[in-house]
A and B are shown apart, each in its own frame.
Chain A
């Protein structure tokens, strides 16, 4: 944790309220996000119990699996979920704008510009917590290799139509969420924790109720009190007043309420199956329906508070103005969405179970680049974030006190003006360290020359500006800092260089096992004894 984050947390403790750790919003928020609040069943990995999903905060769709161990009911749930999610995704696939992309011409091997489509906007999925995001990945993984009866009439457990497609999309969202700064799939706790520092640990920040209690405590209560209540307060029957955001449920709820409700539902089903005539069946169907309705009510009672909390979080975040470079990162998300749309349309197979060596290396390199980009952009967009970097010695701000014109040696001397900056910050600058400032949105580099003593105890830093001054002997107007300018220099780069070009997967070298070979159609996971509890 950085020093400024520690200080902000201490301040949150002493004031009883979360402290802002950003002055602008660093993640894109869609006008019409799809919120998903899923619950799972205890004891069976990835067995959904139900969900609230939708784009309308007042009218969410309630999806429930009345008996989560029944695989047919589970498939029905997933089909229903696909029925909500896929039309939402499709609504963004249609509107496109023309864009250009650099591609390598297969014949000449040269980089050429190609006209392509770019979706004008992209969908956005919002989950309450990081565990919810993991569930999205797990669901995607469990669905994308399923086969529908239409794809393969022989398949033993055919999936309903659209379920494999939903699996591919959820997988794509789950993978994209691993890219730093992306906003296609967000966990509300992560986004809130990025913008506010609470007086609790980062682990406790993953509890959405407690986090909101710190950020926006009720009157007459401190954040700590409100957070404690959100975590622990129970009603006389022993149920949590603020059910956890899931997907795991509270054991007291599982044991006291859910288990009896399942039992009643199972009894009803057995009774219905044993009915001897139509009249009796009608009666028993009525009982089964009532049992199912009771489970639906239970699931709604545990998801609705979280659903409202997610929307409250969105309200809080929308009060912050969007950071200047957020739009640029969202455009990358749009590219990502468009690319997957094209892969689906082109009939490509689902994402493989494991990345091959080249894909894995490319993903890692891209994510490292995005991480560095995100850190730089957040600091440039937000003086509070920059303050943290200044405090840690990675940047400094100050006033230009002197500019002396100088020139490089050589046949064609170029301007290399010496700029003296007075600062109260204490940057860690090594010998000839490079520093950067933003000049019209582009980074201008300077070289650290040395410190000068100043009478009043502040530091005087001498820099030599080395680029962005044009080609002539005299620097272009406005390209050299002037006396009295207030500037901020960073020791980190503003833009990221592209990494090494990796070979194509079919050219994977011997050190990495050689080419992966022909892709085979991956089968869904086989059914094992552990699947049926």
Chain B
């Protein structure tokens, strides 16, 4: 007989080990891999408070201003007394106005103004311009897998020891110019910060958060199997814990049927007839917009482990994910035509780290004649397929499976680089095979 898996206990155990290594370990760095929605931000806040309690001056490096502001708000929520510094750029509106309401958060564009505060938080780009005589005792580097090696190089001199936290399955950092010249070097500047860090310091302790609190029981096995084959994780909830219901019954149309399928199974594939299309495929874009419109019109209600009562599925709990910015712009325009506002529409890159109840995804390979490395990138599909707490609806043209088989990935193998598993081809097939079980064919 197998023991019953207790997600809460497993997560606590992992967190305790991480905090122990961070506070009492001897290694200069600790690396934490976190699958989507595994409580990475909670861990960062927790570790920051513990380090501050231990009297160690702490700097926190995040990748975007939104992430920095979010961390400051979470820290202040947990401990309003903690003196926190928000180092920001000298542009107009450099930080979230909500920070102005926090009495113990000091904001400045100069690091010297924030000296002596328990915790100072900023983006990697801003930290890169900071000079110090005395390095910080400790640092936390958030989203370390999305940070490029060269930007870690610019800030690593600022701290003695660091906790690196991130999600290895999401999009890798990229460079806008070729960097093949350095491929295979341990310090390839276009690689991720963690790759370089571990190449030079293989003895650093590595931990893993084992439970995704975001992904429902219907999604965790697929995402884990397709994108984290060697480091599996579980969902923190079970199949009966979450429930999505609609007040208005289906009108029998494709969008309504796929919504019902997704509400029931957690996944839905709205398949349009096969066709080669421009990137901003008007039919697919309209289909995405129609699904969103119907999601709102049908009065959805989401029940979860967070409370006994259902919460209404409102526009801010829905997101649309695309591969390209022009696709996002086209979807926004189509939604505006249908009178929908306040639904987040963005590319995979910008949806990283965010969470919604229901996501509608325009499949990166939909309508394409070829499967380029960009469209096959594992991280892109992983981000798009792991933002939801309840259901994910994918809109796609038929024929992607054939496209994948016609174009096996042909990227040159670079000597000395770690081959990433799974490759995009494999992951795409895994996801499509699962989606095919929840297919609703529709001719708009």
Contact = CB atoms under 8 A, between A and B. Distances in A.
A368 B188 contact: no
A502 B325 CA distance: 31
A226 B238 CA distance: 67
B409 to A, nearest CB: 18
Contact of A500 (B129, B179, B188, B201): B129
B326 A428 contact: yes
A378 to B, nearest CB: 15
A440 interface: no
B153 A428 contact: no
B178 A178 contact: yes
A332 to B, nearest CB: 15
Contacts of A466: 92
A285 interface: no
Nearest to A175: B181
Contact of B153 (A367, A371, A502): A502
Contacts of A361: 149-150, 153-154, 187, 189
A500 B189 contact: no
Contacts of A508: 153
Contacts of A499: 128, 154
Interface in B149-198: 149-157, 175-179, 181-182, 185-190, 193, 196-197
Given A500-B154, A501-B128, A360 B200 contact: no
B176 A371 contact: yes
B347 to A, nearest CB: 12
* Chain B, interface residues (CB within 8 Å), range: 35 or more
Interface stretch (A142-150, A273-281, A350-358): A350-358
Nearest to A6: B278
A360 B188 contact: yes
Interface centre among A358, A432, A507 (most CB of B within 10 A): A358
Given A393-B326, A500-B125, A511-B196, A357 B177 contact: no
A365 interface: yes
A364 interface: yes
B187 A513 contact: yes
A406 B176 CA distance: 39
A278 to B, nearest CB: 54
A511 B29 contact: yes
Given A360-B188, A360-B189, A428-B326, A509 B182 contact: no
A503 interface: yes
Contacts of A357: 153, 187, 189
A154 to B, nearest CB: 32
B28 interface: yes
B153 A503 contact: yes
A180 interface: yes
A157 to B, nearest CB: 27
Given A364-B175, A428-B326, A500-B125, A511 B190 contact: no
B329 interface: yes
Contacts of A360: 150, 182, 185, 187-189
A507 B179 CA distance: 23
Contacts of A500: 125, 127-129, 151, 154-155
Interface centre among B127, B149, B181, B329 (most CB of A within 10 A): B181
Contact of A428 (B28, B125, B201, B329): B329
Contacts of A178: 177-178, 181
A294 interface: no
Nearest to A507: B157
B202 to A, nearest CB: 12
Contact of A510 (B179, B182, B200): B200
A55 interface: no
B274 to A, nearest CB: 21
A503 B154 CA distance: 7
Contact of A511 (B125, B177, B197): B197
Interface in A268-312: none
A331 interface: no
Interface residues of A, number: 36
A365 B190 CA distance: 10
Contacts of A370: 177
Given A360-B187, A513-B186, A428 B156 contact: no
Nearest to A137: B181
Contacts of B150: 360-361, 364-365, 502
A241 interface: no
Contacts of A428: 325-326, 329
Contacts of B127: 500
A428 B345 CA distance: 13
A411 interface: no
A512 B155 CA distance: 11
A372 interface: yes
A510 B199 CA distance: 11
A509 B186 contact: no
A23 interface: no
Of A180, A512, A513, the most chain B CB neighbours within 10 A belong to A512
Contacts of B182: 355, 360, 364
A410 to B, nearest CB: 12
Contacts of B189: 357, 360-361, 363-365
A368 B156 contact: no
Contacts of A354: 185
A357 B197 CA distance: 12
A500 B92 CA distance: 20
Given A357-B189, A364-B190, A393-B329, A502 B200 contact: no
Nearest to A3: B278
A253 B361 CA distance: 54
Nearest to A355: B182
A508 B188 CA distance: 14
Contacts of A510: 28, 156, 200-201
A372 B176 contact: yes
A392 interface: yes
Interface in B300-359: 325-326, 329
A501 B189 CA distance: 14
Nearest to B155: A500
Interface string A324-364: 00000000000000000000000000000011111011011
Nearest to B333: A426
Nearest to A375: B176
Nearest to A427: B329
A512 B128 contact: no
Nearest to B161: A510
Nearest to A503: B157
A513 B151 CA distance: 15
A511 B148 CA distance: 12
Interface string B200-232: 110000000000000000000000000000000
A357 B193 CA distance: 12
A514 B128 CA distance: 18
Given A509-B156, A512-B156, A513-B186, A501 B92 contact: no
B414 to A, nearest CB: 14
A512 B326 contact: no
Contacts of B152: 511-512
A364 B156 contact: no
Identify which of A178, A361, A372, A499 gathers the most chain B CB atoms within 10 Å of its CB. A361
Interface in B1-41: 28-29
A358 B151 CA distance: 11
B176 A368 contact: yes
A372 B177 CA distance: 10
Interface of B: 28-29, 92-93, 125, 127-129, 131, 149-157, 175-179, 181-182, 185-190, 193, 196-197, 200-201, 278, 325-326, 329
17 contacts: A178-B178, A357-B153, A360-B185, A365-B189, A367-B177, A368-B176, A370-B177, A428-B326, A466-B92, A500-B154, A500-B155, A509-B157, A510-B156, A511-B29, A511-B193, A512-B187, A512-B200
Top 6 closest pairs, chain A to chain B, by CB? A500-B128, A509-B156, A361-B150, A357-B187, A500-B154, A428-B329
Given A367-B177, A393-B326, A512-B187, 7 more contacts: A356-B187, A361-B153, A363-B189, A364-B177, A372-B176, A501-B154, A507-B157
